[in-house]
């Protein structure tokens, strides 16, 4: 359980920011043991697509697939930074910060050159890991980043409106079920951080994320705002009756879910009704299968007035591509 005592100045300095670095690293982190085999396969394919430029990140994830050093996901200094902006900020951290943020790798020292270098504060290796994050982003998102970015911005805008209209208490009380707000203490359950922290005006940054992100993640450093990444609900889509999903994809997902995934890949931004018509299934079934794929981090959905539109996330795209190779 993480408890953060916030000052009045912290509450005056709340920002909601989009973070391409946070979204990219979330996609790169290893699928947990409870995740479907399809999710593991899709992530492995994305790592292969990143190739040699992504090698340093791959080696880092092979050591500890569920964590990366905090310097890779710096607290955003703007509301909508580019990935280049964020990774340039990451590249500017001093050696002592590289060492501090890599403490979770200490058990791998003398067994991995990457761990040795990062724990030792080597900026050269840190920069190569940052370059690898660029490569992974290109492999994972490609042309789909625009759609993902649009959804992240929409969520950030919605939360800013909540803050403006309803105030800080409403915002912090509704951001996620695992976050409890009782002035002046913010309590976060199911979190990698534990303990009690008192803040003195550094502020708070909230970062929305989609895909495989299941729980709230936090970064609590004395020199930066408290940074909280949180998942928000989205949705997904399918494939045309004339298009046959590969045998491998059917074995992994089942026939209808595989067709839905292929359909979304071939015709992004289908509404649930269009998806149902496209596949010859009921609207209720299309919605149900989209929800299942969304829960697996393969599909994302966004509301467009009274309709819901579906698109593939990097794991979903990677899985479809891998099934064709």
Contact status, residue 11 vs residue 288, Cβ threshold 8 Å = no
Residues 273 and 226 in one domain: no
Angle among Cα 232, 56, 113 to the nearest 5 degrees reads 125
User: pLDDT digit string (tens) for 254-303?
Assistant: 888 888 998 888 777 888 988 887 787 888 888 999 999 998 889 998 88
**129 and 62 within one domain:** yes
Instruction: Please report the DSSP string for 141-191 in residue order.
Output: HGGGHHHHHHHHHHHHHHHHHHHHHH-HHHHHHHS-TTEEEETTEEEE-S-
Q: Are 297 and 315 in contact (CB under 8 A)?
A: yes
Provide the angle, in degrees to the nearest 10, between the axes of the packed helices 123-141 and 145-166.
100
Residues 6+ apart with CB under 8 A from 245: 239, 253, 255, 258, 259, 261, 262, 323
CB 148 within 8 A of CB 313: yes
d(CA 306, CA 126): 46
Q: Of 231, 259, 280, at which residue does a domain stop?
A: 231
Please state, rounded to an integer, the average pLDDT across all residues of the chain. Answer: 84
31 shares its domain with 133 = yes
**Residue 299 belongs to a domain:** yes
Q: Is residue 239 in some structural domain?
A: no
Tally of structural domains, the chain: 3
Residue 156 sits in the same domain as residue 137: no
Establish if 242 belongs to a structural domain: no
Identify the weakest region by mean pLDDT among 74-78, 144-148, 215-219, 227-231. 144-148
Q: How many CA atoms are closer than 13 Å to the CA of 310, on its beta-carbon side?
A: 34
Domain enclosing residue 119, as ranges? 20-142
For residues 178-202, average pLDDT: 89
Whether residues 37 and 112 fall in one domain: yes
Give yes or no: residues 271 and 313 share one domain: yes
Cα 24 to the center of its chain, rounded Å: 6
237 is a domain residue: no
Residue range 23-50: average pLDDT? Answer: 68
Same domain, 224 and 258: no
Report the predicted TM-score, pTM, of the whole model to 2 decimal places.
0.70
Domain boundary among 231, 263, 287: 231
Residue 6 lies in a domain: yes
Query: Could you give the 3-state DSSP secondary structure of residue 27?
Result: helix
Query: Domain end: 231, 255, 278, which one?
Result: 231
Q: Give yes or no: residues 130 and 170 share one domain.
A: no
H or E, element range at 308: strand 307-312
**Segment 76-101, tens digit of pLDDT:** 989 999 999 999 999 999 999 999 99
- The answer to whether 264 touches 316, Cβ cutoff 8 Å, is yes
Cα 52 from Cα 119, distance rounded (Å): 23
84/81 Cα distance (integer angstroms):
8
The Cα–Cα gap between 211 and 231 comes to 8
Q: Is residue 241 part of a domain?
A: no
Does residue 238 form part of some domain?
no
Helices 20-28, 123-141: crossing angle, 10 deg rounding: 80
pLDDT at 236: 38
Q: What is the predicted pLDDT for the residue at 151?
A: 84
Q: Beta strand 185-188 with 2-5: parallel, antiparallel or unpaired?
A: antiparallel
Q: Is residue 240 part of a domain?
A: no
**Cα–Cα distance measured from residue 57 to residue 24, given in angstroms and rounded to the nearest whole number:** 12
Give pLDDT, residue 315: 87
Rounded Cα distance, 291 and 289, in Å: 5
Same domain, 137 and 152: no
**CATH number, domain with residue 309:** 1.10.10.10
Q: Do both 186 and 284 map to the same domain?
A: no
Query: What pLDDT shows up at residue 235?
Result: 42
**Percent of the chain whose predicted confidence (pLDDT) is above 70:** 86
Alpha helices in 212-313 (DSSP H): 247-253, 255-266, 272-279, 283-295
- Residue 161 has a CB neighbour count (10 Å cut-off) of 12
Please tell me whether residues 63 and 78 are part of one structural domain: yes
CA terminus-to-terminus distance, the chain: 44
Q: How far apart are CA 91 and CA 285, in angstroms?
A: 47
> Domain check: are 263 and 219 in the same one?
no
């Amino acid at each position: 359980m993480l408890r953060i005592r916030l000052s009045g100045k912290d509450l005056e300095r709340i920002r909601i920011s989009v973070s391409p670095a946070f979204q990219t690293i979330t996609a790169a982190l290893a699928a947990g043991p409870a995740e479907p085999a399809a999710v593991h396969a899709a992530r492995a394919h994305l790592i292969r697509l990143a190739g040699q430029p992504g090698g340093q990140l791959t080696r880092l994830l092979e050591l500890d697939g569920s964590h990366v050093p905090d310097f890779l996901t710096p607290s955003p200094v703007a509301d909508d930074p580019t990935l280049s902006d964020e990774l340039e900020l990451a590249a500017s951290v001093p050696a002592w910060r590289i060492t501090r943020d890599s403490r979770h790798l200490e058990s791998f020292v003398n067994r991995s050159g990457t761990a040795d270098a990062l724990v030792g504060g080597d900026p050269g290796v840190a920069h190569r890991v940052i370059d690898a994050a660029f490569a992974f982003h290109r492999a994972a998102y490609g042309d789909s980043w625009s759609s993902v970015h649009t959804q992240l911005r929409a969520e950030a805008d919605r939360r800013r409106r909540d803050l403006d209209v309803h105030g800080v208490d409403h915002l912090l009380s509704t951001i996620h079920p695992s976050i409890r707000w009782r002035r002046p203490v913010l309590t976060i359950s199911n979190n990698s951080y534990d303990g009690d922290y008192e803040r003195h005006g550094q502020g708070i940054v909230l970062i929305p994320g989609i895909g495989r992100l299941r729980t709230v993640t936090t970064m609590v450093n004395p020199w930066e705002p408290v940074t909280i990444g949180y998942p928000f609900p989205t949705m997904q889509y399918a494939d045309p009756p004339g298009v046959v999903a590969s045998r491998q994809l059917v074995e992994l997902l089942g026939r209808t879910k595989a067709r839905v995934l292929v359909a979304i890949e071939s015709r992004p931004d289908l509404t649930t009704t269009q998806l149902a018509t496209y596949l010859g299934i009921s609207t209720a079934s299309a919605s149900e299968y989209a929800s299942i794929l969304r829960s697996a981090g393969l599909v994302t959905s966004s509301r467009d007035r009274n309709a819901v539109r579906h698109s593939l996330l990097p794991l979903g795209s990677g899985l479809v591509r891998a099934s064709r190779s």
